[in-house]
């Protein structure tokens, strides 16, 4: 074969090699994208992947070796637009704000106690340490739902976690695993009253629903047992329960437990921005 014919053969084979390389790059890129997409899906609980609007509250106290964590501190607080009454899905599912201790705000449905603890630094549910997962309901705008921060105190390995629900009238011991893994409404045994179709019934409110979740009075007007102030405040704040969490070597005493339920953050008049 002459030099000219060898050069011609080499020139003819170059486009084939270029196309082969291009196809390999394309297939590799597709594989990487698909694999990462599958990873994001697998690492994200359903209520994070495709969140839906919710708005309820619960009071939470966390004590490590008898010292109560103050959720009213700046490190736990998040700002919000106080004149925003529209009930659009908010960017993050969990909040403490208004410089209040204990009063946890839940804005996405299906949240568990484990998600709340992970959001502030105690990860009992696995997944990414830095996030609850990925919000995948809009593939054009995939969002990583990052935790608020690693703020809860580090726990010694010999500590156990004890969980109680109740109020000033009494309390009940609960399994820590239930708090971690159950939907909070199931854990507390009380459903959120949001959305309340009896309150948001006008055409304007259906078009522009409010974030309030006040519900209807516990007792109808004229009933023999009218709604008490405590019942009314519980209702209009959509409070589903109170939880006290002790992290320590030995179980707390009955007096220590009741003391914490006697220290519940007072309920205030609710606003639509809460």
156-215 pLDDT tens trace: 999 999 999 999 999 999 999 999 999 999 999 999 988 754 444 444 444 445 555 555
Cβ neighbours for 185, distance < 8 A, ≥ 6 positions apart = 56, 191, 192, 240
Produce one character per residue of 138-157: b if its CB has 16 or more CB atoms within 10 Å, e if not: eeeeebebebbeeebeeeee
Confidence of residue 261 (pLDDT cuts 50, 70, 90): very high
Mean pLDDT of 126-131: 94
Task: For residues 259 and 263, give the distance between their C-alpha atoms in angstroms, rounded to a whole number.
Answer: 7
pLDDT of amino acid 250: 97
Confidence of residue 227 (pLDDT cuts 50, 70, 90): confident
63-103 pLDDT tens trace: 999 999 999 999 999 987 665 555 678 889 999 998 999 99
4-54 pLDDT tens trace: 555 445 555 566 667 777 666 666 566 555 566 788 888 999 999 999 999
DSSP 140: G
Which of 89-93, 115-119, 251-255 has the least mean pLDDT?
Answer: 89-93
Spell out the domain ranges in the chain. Answer: 54-124+149-261
pLDDT of amino acid 195: 74
Supply 143's token pair.
């969002």
pLDDT of amino acid 214: 55
Comparing CA positions, the residue from 221, 199, 223, 226 lying closest to residue 211 is 199
pLDDT of amino acid 12: 52
> Which DSSP helix (H) or strand (E) runs through 31?
helix 3-42
Comparing CA positions, the residue from 256, 193, 191, 251 lying closest to residue 61 is 256
Q: Is the pTM of this model over 0.85?
A: no
Residue 3 has pLDDT above 70, yes or no: no
pLDDT of amino acid 87: 60
Residue 125 has pLDDT above 80, yes or no: yes
In the chain, pLDDT over 70 holds for what percent of residues?
73
Comparing CA positions, the residue from 115, 108, 114, 106 lying closest to residue 59 is 106
Task: For residues 128 and 146, give the distance between their C-alpha atoms in angstroms, rounded to a whole number.
Answer: 9
């Amino acid at each position: 074969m002459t030099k000219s014919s060898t050069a011609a053969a080499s020139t003819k084979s170059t486009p084939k090699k270029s196309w082969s390389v291009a196809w390999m790059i394309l297939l590799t890129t597709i594989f990487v994208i698909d694999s990462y997409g599958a990873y994001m899906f697998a690492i994200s609980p359903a209520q994070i992947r495709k969140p839906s609007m919710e708005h309820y509250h619960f009071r939470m106290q966390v004590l490590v070796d008898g010292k109560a964590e103050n959720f009213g501190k700046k490190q736990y607080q998040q700002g919000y637009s106080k004149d925003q009454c529209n009930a659009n899905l908010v960017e993050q599912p969990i909040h403490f704000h208004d410089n209040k201790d204990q009063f946890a705000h839940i804005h996405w449905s299906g949240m568990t106690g484990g998600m709340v603890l992970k959001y502030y630094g105690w990860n009992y549910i696995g997944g990414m340490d830095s996030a609850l997962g990925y919000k995948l309901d809009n593939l054009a705008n995939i969002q990583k739902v990052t935790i608020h921060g690693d703020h809860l105190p580090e726990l010694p390995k010999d500590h156990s976690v004890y969980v109680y629900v109740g109020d000033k009238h009494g309390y009940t011991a609960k399994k820590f695993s239930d708090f971690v893994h159950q939907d909070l409404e199931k854990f507390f045994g009380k459903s959120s009253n949001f959305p309340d179709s009896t309150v948001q019934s006008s055409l304007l409110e259906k078009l522009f629903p409010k974030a309030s979740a006040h519900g209807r009075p516990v007792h109808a007007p004229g009933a023999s047992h009218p709604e008490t102030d405590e019942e009314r405040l519980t209702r209009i704040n959509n409070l589903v329960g109170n939880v006290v969490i002790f992290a320590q070597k030995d179980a707390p005493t009955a007096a220590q437990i009741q003391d914490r339920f006697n220290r519940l953050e007072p309920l205030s008049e609710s606003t639509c921005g809460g």
